[in-house]
Chain A
Amino acid sequence: MTKVQLPLSKKESRLYMAFMWVTYISLFVGGLMGLLQTLVRSGKYTLPFNIDYYTILTVHGVILGLVLTTFFIIGFQFSLMGKTVGISDKQLKVAWLSFWVMLVGTIMAAITILVGEASVLYTFYAPLRAHPAFYIGLALVIVGSWIAAFVNFRQLYVWKKAHKGEKSPLPAFMVIINMLMWFIATIGVATSVLVLFIPWSLGYAETINVLLSRTLFWYFGHPLVYFWLLPAYMAWYVVIPKIIGGKLFSDALARMAFILLLMFSIPVGFHHQLTEPGIDPTWKFIQVVLTFMVVIPSLMTAFSIFATFETTGRRKGFKSLFGWFKKLPWKDVRFLAPFIGMAAFIPGGAGGIVNASHQMNALVHNTIWITGHFHLTAATTVVLTFFGITYWLVPHLTGRRLTPRLNKLGIIQTFIWTFGMTIMSGSMHIQGLLGGPRRSSFSEYAGGEQVATWINYQIAQAVGGTILFIGILLMVYIFIQLTFFAPRGVQEYPIAVEEDDAEPTPKILENWYLWIGITIALILFAYTIPVIDIIKHSPPGSPPFDWLIGR
């Protein structure tokens, strides 16, 4: 097997750190908004200075769901590419351009939201109309991320040309899959923003096709969550084995899982629109079936992770059925944080299957169960894995070390996060099953028996939210320590290698034409007819509503 690790130059490290900075500033800002929301919904606190609840809700969703994730992911992925296939000076310049375009877009959108001109939540459903600067800002974030994607594609292409006949390094392969998925998916939301929202918000178009805009959003919205999840999978497949002192379980299995995730993440957006009138139930059914296919690569991933643990433990001499489990490096935060992330994905994934099943969706649709679900998946599974990456990535980039003290603080942070999220997400799930709505500010809904059952859960969410905010403060502190104050040294960039006797990876797994072709075919199959239907049979479009969001 070829050498997997290239040194990262100072210049590259600066770029990757720039992405990390935006990530952790976003964590602080977005997290603060989350805290305020839970406090308002406890019914015991009102926002000062006439700040609108929906303004902070929009900041929370956009800054954490769209900004933090995208910046962290692109920065982390750039570092993986730099480590395995390298980056040229010219590519580095273009990569910086992607950073700045994304940052300008982010600031534009953030200011528009903060001044109260875009309290439309991160899904920006029409006919609520935000100021055009909000949509233009979002479009810039997407364009910036496309620039990053094309730099990544170019990086692998150049490497491939220099390494004829060799298989691409696994981390680079995974990054390309994720960016391909992102590119194909964001075409939907970009179309929606450029063709539908911007002309309408500027007043050039009088009405908007609401159903079409929502369909285009969810064409993007589901792969969005996989765009968050795949970098976590990258860490689980290639980083965690190294940290626990093992090797890659199977290169081919990892690639196959990523290919399946590419194919089955996009043609499934209707599972977010199961209650949407105007979409033929047959097509909803077809997309639900396609959604369930994701179970396959998910269980493949679970299998691979368990197998890595077991193989590593047995090699260390553990004979009993689950003895190897005890031997895992529980005191190493680089392992512990992502591990809890994995564990959270078990109930998270099970909940996802419930959401995607039409009947049970009726049980939870638009309830705060959904909010609980994505705080378990995105805000626990994904975020704890990202924290787990931060503990070694940041010191690696700044030429420092994760000291035992910072490791310990990290473990405390992980426990705070787990504890706070269990309370908050748990109470959201239960309140959702009791019919508690999501998105809404505090209200007693003019009384009622059912409403009375919700308030204790909302208080529990405020308790959980407060604990989580303490966790955020600690994490930001650790980030600053790792950036500026930790002792100088060398922190390992953990990338696992294959077993010595690993089977060769089948060449077909790198047949991009084939996999992209199948992906596009599945999308065309799942979307063409229903979208034609939607365009042909839609009711008249909607004029904008500004007053609803206080504009």
Chain B
Amino acid sequence: MGKGNSKQHQPNSNESTHNLKGTFIAVMLLGVFILVSWFGFYALFLSR
């Protein structure tokens, strides 16, 4: 493990492995979900 210098001759695969756009969007959606649910329950609290 860890031998050879894959970095050198496979710049493409390396680039694609570090494409984390989907991850970024997914985590943002997660944050939005948490906020929306929190404010939803807060509204329920206020309405009671």
Contact = CB atoms under 8 A, between A and B. Distances in A.
Interface of A: 1, 295, 299, 302-303, 306-307, 309-311, 314-315, 319, 321-322, 324-325, 346-347, 349-351, 353-354, 357, 359-360, 362-363, 433, 497, 499-501
A300 to B, nearest CB: 9
Interface string B20-41: 1111011100110110011001
B34 to A, nearest CB: 5
B30 A360 contact: no
Contacts of A360: 38, 41-42, 45
Given A302-B26, A360-B45, 17 more contacts: A307-B23, A311-B18, A311-B20, A314-B16, A321-B25, A325-B22, A346-B33, A350-B34, A353-B34, A353-B38, A354-B38, A354-B41, A360-B41, A363-B41, A497-B1, A499-B17, A500-B6
Return the 7 tightest CB-CB contacts between A and B, nearest first: A306-B23, A350-B37, A307-B23, A306-B26, A310-B22, A354-B41, A310-B23
B10 to A, nearest CB: 10
A358 to B, nearest CB: 10
19 contacts: A1-B1, A295-B34, A299-B30, A306-B27, A307-B20, A307-B23, A309-B23, A310-B20, A311-B18, A314-B17, A321-B21, A321-B25, A346-B33, A357-B38, A359-B45, A363-B44, A363-B45, A501-B6, A501-B7
Contacts of B22: 306, 310, 321-322, 324-325
A287 B7 CA distance: 47
Nearest to B36: A350
Nearest to A320: B22
Contacts of A299: 27, 30-31
Interface centre among A295, A319, A500, by most chain B C-beta atoms within 10 angstroms, is: A500
A314 to B, nearest CB: 5
Contacts of A314: 16-17, 19
Contacts of B7: 501
A325 B22 CA distance: 9
A322 B19 CA distance: 12
A311 B39 CA distance: 33
A386 B8 CA distance: 41
Contacts, number: 75
Given A363-B44, A363-B48, A433-B44, A315 B13 contact: yes
Given A314-B19, A321-B22, A302 B34 contact: no
Given A1-B1, A299-B30, A315 B23 contact: no
Contacts of A433: 44
Contacts of B26: 302, 306
Contacts of B42: 357, 359-360
Contacts of B30: 299, 302, 346
Contacts of A1: 1-2
Contacts of A359: 42, 45
Nearest to A307: B23
A306 B2 CA distance: 24
Nearest to A321: B22
A350 B13 contact: no
Nearest to A362: B45
A350 B32 CA distance: 11
Nearest to B1: A1
Given A315-B17, A360-B41, A363-B48, A303 B31 contact: no
A354 B44 CA distance: 11
B45 A350 contact: no
A349 B27 CA distance: 14
Contacts of B33: 346, 350
Nearest to B37: A350
A310 B20 CA distance: 7
Contacts of A322: 22
B23 to A, nearest CB: 4
Interface centre among B6, B22, B25, B31, by most chain A C-beta atoms within 10 angstroms, is: B22
Contacts of A354: 37-38, 41
A357 B42 CA distance: 9
Contacts of A346: 30, 33
Nearest to B23: A306
A69 B18 CA distance: 37
Contacts of B44: 363, 433
Contacts of B2: 1, 500
A149 to B, nearest CB: 32
Nearest to B48: A363
Contacts of A357: 38, 42
A324 B38 CA distance: 30
A360 B6 CA distance: 53
Contacts of B6: 500-501
Contacts of B18: 311
Nearest to B34: A350
B37 to A, nearest CB: 4
A423 B6 CA distance: 50
Contacts of A309: 23
A354 B13 CA distance: 42
Contacts of A321: 21-22, 25
Interface centre among A309, A311, A315, A349, by most chain B C-beta atoms within 10 angstroms, is: A311
A344 B22 CA distance: 20
A127 B16 CA distance: 62
A210 to B, nearest CB: 28
Contacts of B14: 501
